[in-house]
């Protein structure tokens, strides 16, 4: 295999997944031509598309494809109205998404949230609360905590009641490795890390704070602060500009990243990366838009492809080391926004510079700029 040939598992999934993935592929092909590398893009079904094709949300062939790839570019899975009777273990959210996170040890989830000044209208906060601008990164631990901790069960008690148990479990090493990701991310940004916990109540919170504080000694140039999660959820609304990197355990990061995403006006703009351990110079990763499958707008050329396109840029940077191509895609997205191109989710009729476009037109413009 040549240095510059990369194998990518392309799992578009359900709802708007295939449409926005089509645009990301278009943009990747443009980057490939311009930046001198070759992508072998192999598509395979996942989610309801996997159930339809092969009886399960993560077909064996899809998993095998992922195992043989340098990275996974993922669309979205889940169609809430499809079949409410399917057992919970077989639902795409658990059987595909959580399964892939666990199988590939994708413990570090990066969710950058940025509100471009041109889209300040889309932010639900008043202008004065937006402060100097919203530009933060949620670093979420993704394979521990209540999502996977044991015991995890629902049992029937002697008196006939049911009791559900989810266990919040973290070991020192799990906290350490995500803390390193948090500090390293902060080093590349504004050098401020806010560690989020609930150390006033939870054993997990006490350990989290101790370990993060210890890891901080390796990063003297990064300013570390701690905040309780309830206060953090409030501070995001009162003064989001205070945050640079927010370091969270799994459940807190799930909740705070949705809250932070709302500040950027549209989920359709936000990419994410889920990374495993770095081995040698390789980091296997899974790249997906922050928004869901949005079945209500699927198939109508309405979806915003930017989150999927920026996820592809994160893939180029974190798993393939193609930093120039990643930056080129990011600036092409910036250009499309500055030029006034707007899918419906970010359109503002009062902005004389704004022009409403469909999914494909947005993708074409970004690919052309790359």
- For 129, residues 6+ apart whose C-beta sits below 8 A from its C-beta are 237, 238, 239, 240
Report d(CA 68, CA 57) in Å as an integer.
Answer: 19
Return the range that interacts with Mg ion (CB under 5 A); candidates 37-45, 144-152, 253-261, 331-339: 253-261
14 binds, among Mg ion, ligand IPM, none (CB under 5 to 8 A by kind): none
CB of 257 to Mg ion, least distance (A): 6
- For residues 169 and 150, the answer to whether their CB atoms sit within 8 Å is yes
Nearer to Mg ion, 264 or 320 (CB): 264
Question: Own/partner pairs for 59-67, CB < 8 Å, 24+ apart?
Answer: 62/9, 62/11, 63/103, 65/9, 66/9, 66/11, 66/100, 66/104
97 binds, among Mg ion, ligand IPM, none (CB under 5 to 8 A by kind): ligand IPM
Site for Mg ion contains 254 (CB under 5 A):
yes
Binding footprint of ligand IPM, residue count (CB under 6 A): 4
Q: Which of 6, 56, 147, 287 is catalytic?
A: 147
361 secondary structure, DSSP code: H
Return the range that interacts with ligand IPM (CB under 6 A); candidates 92-100, 115-123, 240-248, 317-325: 92-100
Nearer to ligand IPM, 224 or 314 (CB): 314
Active-site residue flag, 254: yes
Nearer to ligand IPM, 25 or 256 (CB): 256
3-state SS, residue 278: strand
Nearer to ligand IPM, 86 or 98 (CB): 98
Q: What is the CA radius of gyration of the chain?
A: 20
* Cis, bond preceding 151 (omega within 30 deg of 0): yes
Report d(CA 229, CA 251) in Å as an integer.
Answer: 11
CB of 178 to ligand IPM, least distance (A): 15
In this structure, what token pair is assigned to residue 34?
A: 């311009």
CB of 147 to ligand IPM, least distance (A): 7
Active-site residue flag, 192: no
Nearer to ligand IPM, 254 or 322 (CB): 254
109 φ/ψ sector (left φ>0, alpha ψ -120 to 50, else beta): beta
Site for ligand IPM contains 93 (CB under 6 A):
yes
Nearer to Mg ion, 98 or 216 (CB): 98
293 secondary structure, DSSP code: -
Q: Which of 14, 254, 345, 364 is catalytic?
A: 254
CB of 262 to Mg ion, least distance (A): 12
The residue among 306, 294, 293 whose CA lies nearest residue 342 is 306
CB of 258 to Mg ion, least distance (A): 5
The residue among 11, 36, 35 whose CA lies nearest residue 21 is 11
CB of 223 to ligand IPM, least distance (A): 27
Q: Which of 52, 83, 218, 230 is catalytic?
A: 230
Nearer to ligand IPM, 79 or 97 (CB): 97
Residue whose entry in the numeric block shows the structure tokens 């370990």 = 211
3-state SS, residue 84: coil
Site for Mg ion contains 141 (CB under 5 A):
no
Instruction: Mark out the alpha helices in the chain (DSSP H runs).
Output: 17-35, 48-54, 60-67, 92, 99-103, 127-130, 172-187, 203-215, 229-238, 250-263, 306-318, 323-338, 359-369
Active-site residue flag, 258: yes
Return the range that interacts with ligand IPM (CB under 6 A); candidates 4-12, 79-87, 91-99, 170-178: 91-99
Residues numbered 95 to 124 that lie near ligand IPM (CB under 6 A) are 97-98
Site map for ligand IPM, 248-277, x if CB under 6 A?
------x-----------------------
Q: Which residues are catalytic?
A: 147, 198, 230, 254, 258
Interface with ligand IPM by CB under 6 A: which residues?
Answer: 93, 97-98, 254
Interface with Mg ion by CB under 5 A: which residues?
Answer: 254
């Amino acid at each position: 295999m040549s240095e510059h040939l990369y194998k990518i598992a392309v799992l578009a999934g359900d709802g708007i997944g295939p449409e926005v993935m089509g645009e990301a592929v278009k943009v990747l092909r443009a980057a490939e031509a311009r930046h001198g590398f070759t992508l072998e893009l192999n598509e395979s079904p996942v989610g309801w598309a996997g159930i339809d094709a092969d009886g399960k949300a993560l077909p064996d062939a899809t998993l095998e494809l992922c195992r043989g790839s340098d990275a996974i570019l993922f669309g979205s899975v889940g169609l809430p109205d499809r079949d409410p009777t399917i057992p919970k273990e077989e639902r795409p959210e658990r059987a595909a998404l959580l399964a892939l996170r666990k199988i590939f040890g994708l413990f570090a989830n990066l969710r950058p949230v940025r509100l471009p000044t041109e889209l300040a209208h889309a932010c639900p906060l008043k202008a004065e609360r937006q402060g100097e601008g919203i530009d933060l990164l949620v670093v979420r631990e993704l394979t521990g905590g209540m999502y996977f901790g044991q015991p995890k069960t629902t049992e029937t008690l002697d008196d006939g009641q049911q009791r559900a148990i989810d266990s919040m479990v973290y070991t020192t090493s799990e906290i350490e490795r995500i803390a390193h990701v948090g500090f390293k991310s902060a080093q590349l940004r504004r050098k401020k890390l806010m560690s989020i916990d609930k150390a006033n109540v939870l054993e997990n919170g006490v350990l989290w704070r101790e370990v993060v504080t210890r890891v901080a000694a390796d990063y003297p140039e990064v300013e570390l602060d701690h905040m309780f999660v309830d206060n953090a959820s409030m501070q995001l609304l009162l003064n989001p500009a205070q945050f640079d990197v927010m370091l969270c355990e799994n459940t807190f990061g799930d909740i705070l990243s949705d809250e932070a995403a709302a500040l950027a006006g549209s989920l359709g703009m936000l990419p994410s990366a889920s990374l495993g351990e770095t081995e040698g110079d390789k980091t296997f990763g899974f790249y997906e838009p922050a928004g869901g499958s949005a079945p209500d707008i699927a198939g109508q050329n309405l979806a915003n492809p930017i989150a999927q396109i920026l996820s592809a840029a994160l893939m180029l940077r974190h798993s393939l080391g193609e930093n120039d191509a990643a930056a080129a895609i990011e600036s092409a997205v910036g250009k499309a926004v500055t030029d006034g191109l707007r899918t419906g989710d970010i359109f503002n009729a009062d902005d004389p510079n704004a022009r409403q476009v469909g999914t494909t037109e947005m993708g074409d413009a970004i690919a052309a700029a790359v």
